[in-house]
Structure 1
């Protein structure tokens, strides 16, 4: 468990650094070389604030995409939808994703007639066989999409697993949840999205 936390922490540092052109200066500023990064100095904002600034915000259109699922079908997001969507980014090695998985299954079963759930395995950071085993072990019945090149995760400015994005029928982001919530907290956000 501690090993996974260190791996996740390392991935977060690398992802944040990769988002900026001035990679070397960012790393030095994080680890206390005394120099501040050009990006931070120019904007007066921290790295985490800059990352958050580029993330999809409530009320903005959800980034459009088309992605293949484990079932061989292609799933698309962009513009108006028949139902609101819970977009869940995960990896099979992620302990919080394992904790959240049973709740996602229950919520998808409960609200499936009113809500689409797409589980996006960021396969770039995972192994396909492990992802398939995870889906089978947790009984996912909703579409599981494969982000093999991390393109979608980057579009949504993902920084940690799990990340859940709630998108309304008009294709607008209503909430971005980084990390886990209790089943009750997540259900409250879903109810708000569905107006129930």
Structure 2
């Protein structure tokens, strides 16, 4: 039997839904694979160099083969102030094996305020001012405090946004040391 050309072929609704479901599923799986591949690449830390307040020059390249903790903060930030004693304790415990650098964001606070803050809290790890917010921009820091943990090869292990306490610091530092 020959059907006229102008006849519309009617596909049952169940077949349409089944076909659309398969298209959606394949698209969704493709998107997941793309996202996972993008996230599986290790991100290497951007360069950091500059004069610290009390410890001379800091250059990330001077610490090749050593894990690094980078803490972004500013003096008038209450959460930054709250975590600083725990960062100091971590530095005293891990400072031989992990390089520490504090990066003061230079916005509403001055360099002088940063120096006074460091003295007031008795911080002994290196801290530098981020004039022009170059380091902050390179690391895409949007909130404070933020702590970045680098493995020995300076790939980024973890970016911790918000207050980090002593126990969390120990856990992250042990992880980058492979303990």
Same fold (TM over 0.5): yes
Moved over 4 A (4+): none
Structure 1 Cα separation of the partners of residues 108 and 132 of structure 2? 9
Q: Is the 8 A contact 1:91 1:126 kept in 2?
A: yes
Larger radius of gyration: 2
| Paired residues, number | 141
Partner of 2:110: 127
Residue 166, structure 1, aligned to residue 149, structure 2 = yes
Q: Give the secondary structure class of the aligned counterpart of 1:150.
A: helix
Partner of 1:62: 45
Q: Give the secondary structure class of the aligned counterpart of 2:103.
A: strand
After TM superposition, the structure 1 = structure 2 runs for residues 143-158 of structure 1, keeping only pairs within 5 Å, are 143-158=126-141
- Structure 2 counterpart of 1:111, from 68, 87, 94: 94
- Structure 2 counterpart of 1:136, from 119, 125, 133: 119
- Structure 2 counterpart of 1:90, from 48, 57, 73: 73
Q: Is the 8 A contact 1:57 1:174 kept in 2?
A: no
Q: Is the 8 A contact 1:89 1:162 kept in 2?
A: yes
Structure 2 Cα separation of the partners of residues 58 and 78 of structure 1? 21
Shift of 1:109: 0.0
Q: Give the secondary structure class of the aligned counterpart of 2:120.
A: helix
- C-alpha RMSD of the superposition: 2.1
Q: Is the 8 A contact 1:57 1:173 kept in 2?
A: no
Residue segments in structure 2 that go unaligned for 5+ positions in a row: 1-38
Q: Is the 8 A contact 2:66 2:153 kept in 1?
A: no
Structure 2 Cα separation of the partners of residues 130 and 116 of structure 1? 24
Cα deviations by residue, 1:156-183 (Å, 9 ceiling, x for unpaired) = 0011111100011111111101111232
